[in-house]
Amino acid sequence: MKRLAPNALLGGFLIGTLIVVALIGAVWTPYDPLQLSFRAKLAAPSAAHWLGTDEFGRDVGSRLMAGAATSAWISLLTVTLAVVFGTAIGVVSGYVRGWFDRIVMAFNDALLAFPGILLALGLLAVLGANKYGIIAALGIAYTPSVARIVRGAVLSLREREFIAASRVMGNSELFTMARHILPNCIAPLTVLATSMFGYVLLAESALSFLGLGVPPPAPTWGNMLAGSRPYIGQAVWLGIFPGLCISLTLLGINLLGDAVRDRLDPRMRGM
Amino acid sequence: MLRFALTRILMALPTLLIVAVSVFVLIRLIPGDPAQLMLGDLADPASLADLRGRLGLDKSLPVQFGIWFGNLLHGDLGQSISSQQAVLPLILQRFWISAQIVLVAVLLAVLVAVPAGVIAAWRQNSSLDLGLVGLATLLLSIPTFWLGLLLLLFFGLKLEWLPVVGYVSISEDATRGILYLVMPIMTLFLHEIGVLLRMARASTLEVLRLDYITHARAKGLSEGAVLWRHAFKNAFGPTWTLIGLVLGNLLGGIAVVETVFTIPGLGRLLVDSIFARDYPVIQGCLLFVAFTYVVVNLVIDLCYPIFDPRVTAQ
């Protein structure tokens, strides 16, 4: 076992912290994140409120913890949705080939022609801006990239001997796909899902920041940042802490992603 | 070369068509009468009936698409519900605002990030390299909407060097117009440095380990000549392709930066239209950005042989 690279350690530490904070935030926060307190309005960080309070006197630290839980949960559901549908489309399309593959991939690639969060924005216009709308919109928006990568992996897998062997043994196509193709896609899928978690978290924060995500008063890092804008001159902490949370999470995911790639592809080490 | 260009252009056409189909289907997925959606709740029965006739809503779905697509080819994207303006001129006017921010930011980022990436690769694993890669990874991890907020806090509110929010057209007042654009451009510039530096470094490293680099050094070329003539020119391809993707992604995601700085650009137009349920504008924005993205990438691909003539041979 090799020693872990420093970027893996730092990335692992950041993501580990996020997971712990999100898990705790889901069940317990120091204060009720929705409890208004007009006596403690816009209070600077202090012993009672470590990260200060917002314009309604709500504890920023508690809201960040609850927001971590919400954002992590939404990202997890979204990634799962995209991975499940993308894998299904990619495996079937890559394995069956022919006209089916061509039509599916033409649509798939056209959806990839919507840059960034544009497709998610369009879907939100149809689905409505709420927690489930955002999961569905981002899930659908990220499905094509999963499908593309999985199909690529399947195309080379299906030419291998053990797939031919499975067919010769008289296994059905469905069985071959589920038993022999799918398990071999898990390694690239794990790498993909990790980095996608970062993209989705960023997209979710961006949509919440635009007011198209989880509606207030429920806290997410994105809508806390959006809410901080009118008060940023007098209450800097409102704008600093949520952004710091998003950035550190993304940094952790980027560092972990680099570390995983170094390990899987030693030729690219240090890139 | 001509053959390469023609194939590449022909390949983009089906994508554009399917993009149009997707947007058409997306808007038709909204429950309710499309004519009512397009005119809003306040429309009178006569104009509703008129639009139903023009959209061909009593005919089959493929015919409806045909009519819609025909209008699209004529540049007719309908009328905004809230402002009654024609959609295409509205989009073009807002697009110009967003485009100048995105283009300047990406141009500056390329000028800084690509040389920095090449130097980092040249001095791989030195402290300079680690510092540059660390900085790039950090910049990459800061979301643009927070970076913008930090710049606004520092340069706008603390130092009071730059106007905080708003927009003045450069054609009206050049100095003030530029001052208002400095922070949005700086935000995207800093973020894209992270993306482009890492790519430039990775592709330069790929090339630097090849035999002809060793050969170039062995025959006594200066390091500058090796880097510029042999390494950089061969390594620039992937970065060039990435520039196209970056341009499109910025256009798709610029709404957040425009929100931070209250700039009336294309992204803000789309988000405001989503809030206002102004479906003709939503549809127009989706189509416009996706088309622009496809065309930008097409142009990028067509220019690729300038840097790397090998691609036309395939």
Quick one: pLDDT band at residue A200, thresholds 50, 70, 90? very high
Backbone angles phi, psi at A53, to 5 degrees: -130, 165
Give the separation between CA A239 and CA A216, rounded to whole angstroms. Answer: 16
Considering the domain architecture, whether residues B31 and B100 belong to the same structural domain is answered as no
CATH 2.70.98.30 is the classification of domain A72-260: no
Q: Which residue has the tokens 């927001």?
A: A67
Tens-place pLDDT, residues A8-66: 899 999 999 999 988 998 888 888 888 777 777 777 787 777 788 888 878 888 899 99
* A233 to chain B: closest CA residue: B157
Task: Pick the last residue of a domain from B73, B100, B118.
Answer: B73
Find the domain containing B207 and state its range. Answer: 88-307
Task: Pick the last residue of a domain from B46, B73, B100.
Answer: B73
Burial group, residue A241, by CB count within 10 angstroms (0-12, 13-18, 19+): buried
pTM: 0.88
Query: Whose CA is closest to A200, among A126, A264, A145?
Result: A145
Are A270 and B205 a contacting pair at CB < 8 A? yes
* A225 to chain B: closest CA residue: B146
- The pLDDT value given to residue A266: 52
Mean pLDDT, chain A, rounded, equals 86
- The pLDDT value given to residue A1: 46
Considering the domain architecture, whether residues B127 and B211 belong to the same structural domain is answered as yes
Give the separation between CA B246 and CA B263, rounded to whole angstroms. Answer: 20
Average pLDDT over residues A129-141: 89
Tens-place pLDDT, residues B7-48: 888 888 888 898 999 898 888 888 777 777 777 777 788 888
Q: Is B205 on the interface with A (CB under 8 A)?
A: yes
- The pLDDT value given to residue A270: 43
Looking at the domain assignment, is residue B79 inside a domain?
no
Considering the domain architecture, whether residues B165 and B248 belong to the same structural domain is answered as yes
Tens-place pLDDT, residues B208-253: 888 888 888 888 888 888 888 888 888 888 888 899 888 988 888 8
Considering the domain architecture, whether residues B154 and B62 belong to the same structural domain is answered as no
Number of domains, chain B: 2
Are B252 and A117 a contacting pair at CB < 8 A? yes
**Is the predicted pLDDT of residue A268 greater than 70, yes or no?**
no
Choose the closest CB to A106 out of B14, B249, B286: B14
Indicate left, alpha or beta for A22 from its phi (over 0: left) and psi (-120 to 50: alpha): alpha
Residues in chain B, pLDDT under 50: none
Are A247 and B141 a contacting pair at CB < 8 A? yes
Average pLDDT over residues A137-150: 93
Count Cβ neighbours within 10 Å for each residue of A22-52 and write b for 16 or more, e otherwise. Answer: beebeeebebebeeeeeebeebebeeebebb
Tens-place pLDDT, residues A155-174: 888 888 888 898 889 888 88
- The pLDDT value given to residue A271: 38
Looking at the domain assignment, is residue B78 inside a domain?
no
- The pLDDT value given to residue A265: 61
- The pLDDT value given to residue B209: 86
Quick one: pLDDT band at residue A269, thresholds 50, 70, 90? very low
CATH code of residue B114: 1.10.3720.10
Spell out which residues of chain A touch residue B205, defining contact as CB-CB under 8 Å: 270-271
- Contact yes or no for A11/A20 (Cβ under 8 A): no
Name the residue ranges covered by the structural domains of chain A. 72-260
Considering the domain architecture, whether residues B105 and B31 belong to the same structural domain is answered as no
State whether residue B25 is helix, strand or coil. Answer: helix
Give the separation between CA B141 and CA A100, rounded to whole angstroms. Answer: 39
Considering the domain architecture, whether residues B93 and B216 belong to the same structural domain is answered as yes
Considering the domain architecture, whether residues B280 and B240 belong to the same structural domain is answered as yes
Other residues' Cβ atoms within 10 Å of the Cβ of residue B160: 9
- The pLDDT value given to residue B314: 52
Considering the domain architecture, whether residues B98 and B52 belong to the same structural domain is answered as no
Q: Is B286 on the interface with A (CB under 8 A)?
A: yes
Considering the domain architecture, whether residues B207 and B298 belong to the same structural domain is answered as yes
Considering the domain architecture, whether residues B159 and B228 belong to the same structural domain is answered as yes
Complex-level ipTM: 0.87
Are B274 and A129 a contacting pair at CB < 8 A? yes
Choose the closest CB to A122 out of B15, B153, B282: B282
Give the separation between CA A204 and CA A209, rounded to whole angstroms. Answer: 8
Alpha-carbon distance B159 to nearest alpha carbon in chain A (angstroms): 12
Are B252 and A118 a contacting pair at CB < 8 A? yes
Quick one: pLDDT band at residue A2, thresholds 50, 70, 90? low
Considering the domain architecture, whether residues B287 and B239 belong to the same structural domain is answered as yes
Considering the domain architecture, whether residues B105 and B58 belong to the same structural domain is answered as no
